[in-house]
């Protein structure tokens, strides 16, 4: 094994591009130069969040926003906070930017790339909240190391929260929910803050999972002061 392979980060996602519709492509072409941020592996240049959003405001990091419907809904209902969404699926990025345009949202910024690479560029204590909603459960035991909610990642996410800031996770895989709860409870920088949705709107994905008999688990942990 080469030195490069030994130090290659363990990805919590499958790289995905996919084909964008005309609507997505047009929104991407228009808004990406204004609201987009490319995440480059190994880049540790600090992100100036007030400059990114054009003003100082509390910021929520949305990791793996899928098609962006939930992010847009939460940002529209919460204009006082900035929403920084990060995703690897390009049609999802195009869809979120289309929603930003159609709804006239000014408090959303979109990053493309590895979420944890992005987190390394955010200053400690800079985030008001982190949302990890329905990440890939990587159900096979040999793939558990790829799960996003694991001790090293949780320690980093916790450090980026302000005192009192919330890390809110949700999953529809019971075994992953149990593993999440164990990892989150073991992080010394966090304390339990509830197991309710706490303002998280429901999604089509969630409703489909519920209809198929999959229980939805929400886990909220708060950064200790």
State the Cα–Cα distance between residues 81 and 119, nearest whole angstrom. Answer: 18
Count of all residues that appear for the chain in the document: 225
Q: Residue 44 sits in a domain of what CATH number?
A: 3.40.50.150
To the question of whether residue 205 is assigned a binding role by annotation, the answer is: yes
Q: Which of 26, 69, 78, 136 is an active site residue?
A: 136
Q: What is the DSSP string of 120-176?
A: HTSPTT-EEEEEEES-----SGGGGGG-SSSHHHHHHHHHHEEEEEEEEEEES-HHH
The residues, any chain, with a CB within 8 Å of residue 212's CB and separated by 6 or more, are none
The pLDDT of residue 3: 37
| pLDDT in the model for residue 138 | 73
Catalytic (active site) residue 78: no
Residue 187 assigned ligand-binding role: no
> What sign results for the dihedral spanned by CA atoms 85, 88, 89, 93?
positive
Ligand-binding site membership of 117 (annotated): no
The CA distance from 134 to 65, in Å, is 9
Residue 59 lies in domain:
3-223
Q: Is residue 22 classed as helix, strand or coil in its secondary structure?
A: helix
62 is in an annotated binding site: yes
The answer on whether 206 is annotated among ligand-binding residues is: yes
CA–CA distance, 63 with 92 (Å, rounded to integer): 12
Q: What is the mean pLDDT of each run of 10 residues along the chain (225 residues)?
A: 45 58 92 97 96 96 96 97 96 96 97 97 98 90 88 98 98 94 98 92 81 91 96
* pLDDT at residue 19 in the model: 77
Structurally, how many domains does the chain consist of? 1
């Amino acid at each position: 094994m080469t030195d490069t392979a030994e130090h290659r980060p363990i990805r919590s996602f499958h790289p995905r591009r996919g084909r964008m519709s005309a609507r997505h492509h047009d929104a991407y072409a228009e808004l990406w130069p204004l609201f987009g941020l490319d995440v480059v592996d190994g880049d540790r240049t600090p992100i100036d969040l007030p400059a990114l959003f054009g003003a100082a405001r509390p910021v929520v990091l949305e990791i793996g926003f899928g098609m962006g419907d939930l992010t847009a809904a939460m940002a529209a209902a919460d204009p006082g906070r900035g929403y920084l969404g990060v995703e690897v699926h390009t049609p999802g990025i195009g869809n979120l930017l289309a929603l930003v345009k159609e709804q006239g949202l000014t408090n959303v910024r979109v990053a493309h790339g590895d979420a944890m690479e992005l987190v390394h560029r955010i200053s400690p204590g800079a985030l008001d909240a982190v949302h990890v909603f329905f990440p890939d459960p990587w159900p096979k035991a040999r793939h558990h190391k790829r799960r996003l909610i694991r001790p090293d990642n949780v320690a980093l996410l916790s450090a980026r929260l302000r005192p009192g800031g919330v890390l809110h996770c949700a999953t529809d895989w019971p075994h992953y929910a149990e593993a999440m709860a164990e990892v989150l409870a073991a992080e010394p920088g966090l304390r339990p803050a509830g197991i309710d949705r706490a303002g998280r709107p429901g999604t089509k994905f969630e409703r489909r999972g519920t209809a198929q008999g999959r229980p939805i688990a929400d886990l909220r942990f708060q950064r200790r002061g």
